[in-house]
Chain A
Amino acid sequence: MTSSLLEVRGLKTVFHDLKGAWPAVDGVDLVVQPGEIVGLVGESGSGKSVTGFSLVQLIDPPGEIVAGDVLFKGEDLRQASDERLRNLRGDRIAMIFQDPLMTLNPVLTIGEQMGEAIREHRQCSTQEALKEAAQALSRVGISSPEARLKQYPHEFSGGMRQRVAIATALLNEPDLIIADEPTTALDVTIQSQILFEVQKLSRETGTALLWITHDLAVVAELADRVAVMYAGRIVETGTVDDVLDRPRHPYTLGLLASSAATVAPGERLKQINGAAPSIDARPSGCPFRPRCERALPVCAELDPPSQIRTDGHSYRCHNPVPEGSAP
């Protein structure tokens, strides 16, 4: 038995349509230790959000989780009853969504929406719940929280709403927070404030964090470990230092090379040729092959298995980037 907080093995989530079942998440393995911050990085359409929702079994038709185990503290969430899952969601596993403009209910007060997150999980009076909500709001830097609780979402700015979502996620001191691109819709200054606060709060409360993003800079700033996702699978994973400084998978290298921080001023940004394959047009063998500069004949035939090194750095590639050639 492991002591991992979250252990995902071979997770596969498909979306059905008339022509068949298309895997959005295709055999994902992922481990999160207690109190650890893990960045899950990938392009749009790589399956990272679907992975996040699959973990808490929030996949609605036409989507379906068809294979794999999701072990949370040793308990397989795929076998858990609806009521058990409801009890875990928001209490032990909280989520923060991408778009703070859409996730808060426009016609209910902030106080009610935060209060219900408490009162749906433990016996407590409305007053007590509101008091806790006010404390949570002031923890994320919202002033005059009592007055704010009586307000509605449209009276908050985007950044403020995302703070509300973070405060809500922290209410029940969960073991794990899954944050799905929570800063993507915010401007850069707000983004770094929120990153800083989230990191601080998760360290203080010992909450593990799975941070889903397309932004490597965010991961570098925030995470302990990183998993890079491409076409529904994890292609490289390891500590932030290992993966970002010594990438072995050509896709990770490409992502790093195309981010502005790695390029000298005045120089053109590099880009990865082509686009991520759509879910119904994944190539045979390694799905990254058509865009890969290092592709070998074997890549077209055989899907590369995961190679795990002793230090936990793993990657799926037949022809990995030689060590020491990173940007």
Chain B
Amino acid sequence: MTAYILQRLIQSVLVLLAVSIVVFLAVYGIGDPIELLVPPQVSAAERAAMIRRLGLDLPVWQQYLSFLGSALKGDLGTSFVHGVPALGLILARLPATFELVLLAMSVAAFIGVPLGLLAGLNPESRPSRAIMAGTILGFSLPSFWKGMMLILLFSVFLGWLPTAGRGETVFILGVPTSLLTLDGLRHIALPALNLAIPNMALMIRLVAAGTTEAMTQDYVKYARAKGVRRRRIVGRHVLRNILIPVVTVAGMEFGSLVAFSTITETVFAWPGMGKLLIDSIYHLDRPVVVAYVMLATLLFVAVNFFVDVLYAALDPRVKLTGDMA
């Protein structure tokens, strides 16, 4: 186990290093932020001073090395636009995104898994066909359109829910949250639903396919021959076997939602990280974009590690050892 964790740590550092190089070069290639940052009426001398102050006069490899040097000390650079450390800027937005994704994934799992079981147990029945057809819509409708339709329905026509923002928040352990106020919940409902729908569709399809397959396995027939009740066969024998792919996908989706729920956050003006990323790209705010991608990478590495540990808990045949490829 220790050897396994150590090996994973080394892998993670290498991944982070590789990502940092790629992202740094890519952002460098997008364009020159000076044109956007400096007002046109500023004199050439002031302009040159600003370029020097931001370190943009150096060749790209020197810029990268100085970024890497300060990154090792925990400083991922200072936002060109806001003038504050990029890391702090991102982390301040993290709780909003995190609670949004948490709610979305919970909704997806708590609705998706039972519906998937239902569809998988009687694949030929009418409700199952309806569920499976619904999942195709859930996948394929684009997020921005779905978001707008949700606003149109629940905010404009029905007038039940607000269209934008985070609503009233309370602080729990120094972290603001919308989940504990009625106003906050009313605000988070639509963006969370918008994020949840495609993931729910994914869960339904995964669980349904897994269930249909598992029900034909010998261990199910054997359990029936032992006189085990159907409820227990489905809830214990089948569910335990199909949770493994579900956990994998849920983990990956969790990571990608935290990092890139950009569209939903933009549509609902949710003050999370995704919206910050989009704004930073518009303004060519290099340090924020680079820091963001680094954090996202870190998040994925952490989530994948967590999923691997969960595997070992779910599947007794999986042992976490150092010599695993």
Q: Do A86 and B218 touch across chains, with their CB atoms under 8 A apart?
A: no
Q: Do B232 and A116 touch across chains, with their CB atoms under 8 A apart?
A: yes
Q: Do A117 and B227 touch across chains, with their CB atoms under 8 A apart?
A: yes
Q: Do A103 and B219 touch across chains, with their CB atoms under 8 A apart?
A: yes
Least distance between A92 CB and chain B CB atoms (Å): 9
Q: Is B229 an interface residue (CB 8 A)?
A: yes
Q: Is B43 an interface residue (CB 8 A)?
A: no
Q: Is A230 an interface residue (CB 8 A)?
A: no
Q: Is A39 an interface residue (CB 8 A)?
A: no
Query: What are the residues of chain A within 8 A of B219 when measuring CB–CB?
Result: 102-106
Q: Which of B29-37, B148-156, B313-321 contacts A (4 or more CB under 8 A)?
A: B313-321
Q: Do A120 and B232 touch across chains, with their CB atoms under 8 A apart?
A: yes
Q: Point out the residue from A95, A99, A120 that lies within 8 Å of B229, measured CB to CB.
A: A120
Query: What are the residues of chain A within 8 A of B237 when measuring CB–CB?
Result: 105, 108
| B265-323 interface with A by 8 A CB criterion | 314-317
Q: Is A154 an interface residue (CB 8 A)?
A: yes
Query: What are the residues of chain A within 8 A of B129 when measuring CB–CB?
Result: none
Q: Which residue of B lies closest to A172 (CB)?
A: B227
Q: Is A107 an interface residue (CB 8 A)?
A: yes
Least distance between A112 CB and chain B CB atoms (Å): 8
Count of B interface residues, CB-CB < 8 Å: 21
Q: Do B241 and A121 touch across chains, with their CB atoms under 8 A apart?
A: no
| B111-162 interface with A by 8 A CB criterion | none
In whole angstroms, what is the CA distance A152 to B319 when docked? Answer: 13
In whole angstroms, what is the CA distance A97 to B232 when docked? Answer: 20
Query: What are the residues of chain B within 8 A of A102 when measuring CB–CB?
Result: 217-219
Q: Which residue of B lies closest to A105 (CB)?
A: B219
Q: Is A58 an interface residue (CB 8 A)?
A: yes
Q: Do B224 and A154 touch across chains, with their CB atoms under 8 A apart?
A: no
| A46-74 interface with B by 8 A CB criterion | 56, 58
Least distance between A147 CB and chain B CB atoms (Å): 15
Q: Do A91 and B227 touch across chains, with their CB atoms under 8 A apart?
A: yes
Q: Is B171 an interface residue (CB 8 A)?
A: no
Q: Do A121 and B317 touch across chains, with their CB atoms under 8 A apart?
A: no
Query: What are the residues of chain B within 8 A of A95 when measuring CB–CB?
Result: 222, 225-226
Q: Is A13 an interface residue (CB 8 A)?
A: no
In whole angstroms, what is the CA distance A104 to B225 when docked? Answer: 12
Q: Is A195 an interface residue (CB 8 A)?
A: no
Q: Which residue of A lies closest to B238 (CB)?
A: A105
Q: Do B317 and A90 touch across chains, with their CB atoms under 8 A apart?
A: no
Least distance between A126 CB and chain B CB atoms (Å): 14
Which of B225, B315, B316, B317 has the most C-beta atoms of chain A within 10 angstroms of its own C-beta? Answer: B225
In whole angstroms, what is the CA distance A104 to B227 when docked? Answer: 14
Least distance between A230 CB and chain B CB atoms (Å): 25
Q: Do B225 and A108 touch across chains, with their CB atoms under 8 A apart?
A: no
Least distance between B123 CB and chain A CB atoms (Å): 12
Q: Is A279 an interface residue (CB 8 A)?
A: no
Q: Is A271 an interface residue (CB 8 A)?
A: no
Q: Is B26 an interface residue (CB 8 A)?
A: no
Q: Do B316 and A58 touch across chains, with their CB atoms under 8 A apart?
A: no
Query: What are the residues of chain A within 8 A of B223 when measuring CB–CB?
Result: 105, 113, 116
In whole angstroms, what is the CA distance A157 to B265 when docked? Answer: 54
Q: Point out the residue from A56, A121, A154, A168 that lies within 8 Å of B316, measured CB to CB.
A: A154
Query: What are the residues of chain A within 8 A of B222 when measuring CB–CB?
Result: 95, 97, 103-104
| B65-106 interface with A by 8 A CB criterion | none
Query: What are the residues of chain B within 8 A of A289 when measuring CB–CB?
Result: none
User: If the complex has contacts A105-B240, A107-B316, A108-B237, are A58 and B224 also in contact, measured as CB distance less than 8 A?
Assistant: yes
Q: Point out the residue from B227, B232, B317 that lies within 8 Å of A152, measured CB to CB.
A: B317
Which of B222, B232, B316 has the most C-beta atoms of chain A within 10 angstroms of its own C-beta? Answer: B222
Least distance between B59 CB and chain A CB atoms (Å): 56
Q: Which residue of A lies closest to B317 (CB)?
A: A154
Query: What are the residues of chain A within 8 A of B316 when measuring CB–CB?
Result: 106-107, 109, 152, 154
Query: What are the residues of chain A within 8 A of B221 when measuring CB–CB?
Result: 58, 97, 103
In whole angstroms, what is the CA distance A90 to B223 when docked? Answer: 9
Q: Is B25 an interface residue (CB 8 A)?
A: no
Q: Do A89 and B225 touch across chains, with their CB atoms under 8 A apart?
A: yes
Which of B223, B226, B228 has the most C-beta atoms of chain A within 10 angstroms of its own C-beta? Answer: B226
Q: Do B240 and A90 touch across chains, with their CB atoms under 8 A apart?
A: no
Q: Is A87 an interface residue (CB 8 A)?
A: yes
In whole angstroms, what is the CA distance A113 to B223 when docked? Answer: 8
Q: Is B236 an interface residue (CB 8 A)?
A: yes
Q: Which residue of A lies closest to B218 (CB)?
A: A102
Q: Is A88 an interface residue (CB 8 A)?
A: yes
Least distance between A72 CB and chain B CB atoms (Å): 14
Query: What are the residues of chain B within 8 A of A107 when measuring CB–CB?
Result: 240-241, 314-316
**Which are the 7 A-B pairs with shortest beta-carbon distances?**
A90-B227, A90-B226, A102-B218, A152-B316, A95-B225, A89-B227, A103-B222
Sample of 4 further A-B pairs with CB below 8 A, known A58-B225, A105-B237: A86-B229, A102-B219, A105-B240, A154-B317
